[in-house]
């Protein structure tokens, strides 16, 4: 039986990634261990792992995840209040597939899309 999935995304700088996700998006560090070149963060029931890739070309990075939420308008507003830059083509919008969605890029251009079923 499958019980969870924890995506792994590339990061160039652990401190920058940690600060963005914790200070801007409200995540917290998962566990006590601090592994070199690896980072585990969580928010509510979602956990994201990051691996160090110092040579990452952010403009050819296709890392992306889709995160479901049941409070998308509140989450969107919280991110706006925290001055999180929403993707220019990813503002909160109802999609034809009946998902209310928005997207943003993290410091390494990993695309995070948040969605809620309508």
Q: Which tens digits make up the pLDDT trace of 1-21?
A: 888 899 999 999 999 999 999
- SS3 at position 89: coil
Confidence band, pLDDT 50/70/90 cuts, at residue 32: confident
| Cβ pair 111, 63 in contact under 8 A | yes
Please give the model's pTM, rounded to 2 decimal places.
0.94
pLDDT in tens, 55-97: 999 999 999 999 999 999 999 999 999 999 999 999 999 999 9
Cα Rg of the chain, angstroms: 14
* Burial class of residue 39 (count of CB atoms within 10 Å of its CB; 0-12, 13-18, 19+): buried
Q: Are 14 and 50 a contacting pair, CB within 8 Å?
A: yes
């Amino acid at each position: 039986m499958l019980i969870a999935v924890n995506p792994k995304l590339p990061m160039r700088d652990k401190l920058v990634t940690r600060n963005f996700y914790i200070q801007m998006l409200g995540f917290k560090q998962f566990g006590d261990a601090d592994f070199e070149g690896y980072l585990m963060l969580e928010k509510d029931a979602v956990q994201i792992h990051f691996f160090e890739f110092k040579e990452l070309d952010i403009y050819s990075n296709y890392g992306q995840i889709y995160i479901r939420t049941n409070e998308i308008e509140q989450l969107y507003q919280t991110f706006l209040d925290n001055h999180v830059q929403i993707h220019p083509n990813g503002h909160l919008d109802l999609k034809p597939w009946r998902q209310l969605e928005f997207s943003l890029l993290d410091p390494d251009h990993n695309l995070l899309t948040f969605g809620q079923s309508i």
